[in-house]
Amino acid sequence: MAIRFPRVLYSKQILRRSNSFGNQLASSDVPKGYVAVYVGDQDQKKRFIIPISFLHQPSFQELLCMAEEEFGYNHPMGGLTLPCTEDIFVHLTARLNRL
């Protein structure tokens, strides 16, 4: 059994950085063990609350890398902004919920 510490640490580093730049009021209603993410078109972002465990999944790791490339660590909405459509995100999270 392989242990993937580098990816786990990388995910936590991204979250820590995104929360430090975000609006503190937006993160106050997120339960422990969850994180707020925003997905959708630039004009209409939709907020989702997802379990932190999703961040360990390889498909979600790809989204995190894409978010870093596109947005850096500046997330003005107070949560992590992911560069995908709402439909793709819902499909991905539905698949992850079945795991």
Tens-place pLDDT, residues 37-72 = 999 887 888 999 999 999 999 999 999 999 888 878
For residue 21, what pLDDT band results from cuts at 50, 70 and 90?
A: very low
In whole numbers, what is the pLDDT of the chain averaged over residues? Answer: 75
- What size, in residues, is the chain? 99
Backbone angles phi, psi at 5, to 5 degrees: -65, -40
Q: CB under 8 Å to 4, separation ≥6 — which residues?
A: 56
Residue 8, pLDDT above cutoff 90: no
- Torsion region of 40: left, alpha or beta (phi above 0 gives left; psi -120 to 50 gives alpha): left
Domain boundaries, the chain: 5-98
- Residue 61 CA to residue 91 CA, distance in Å, equals 15
Q: What's the pTM?
A: 0.66
Q: 96 pLDDT band (50/70/90 cuts)?
A: confident
Q: What pLDDT, on a 0 to 100 scale, did the predictor assign at position 73?
A: 76
Q: Which of 14-18, 26-30, 36-40, 46-50 has the lowest mean pLDDT?
A: 14-18
Q: What share of the chain is helix, strand, coil (3-state, %, to 5)?
A: 55, 15, 30
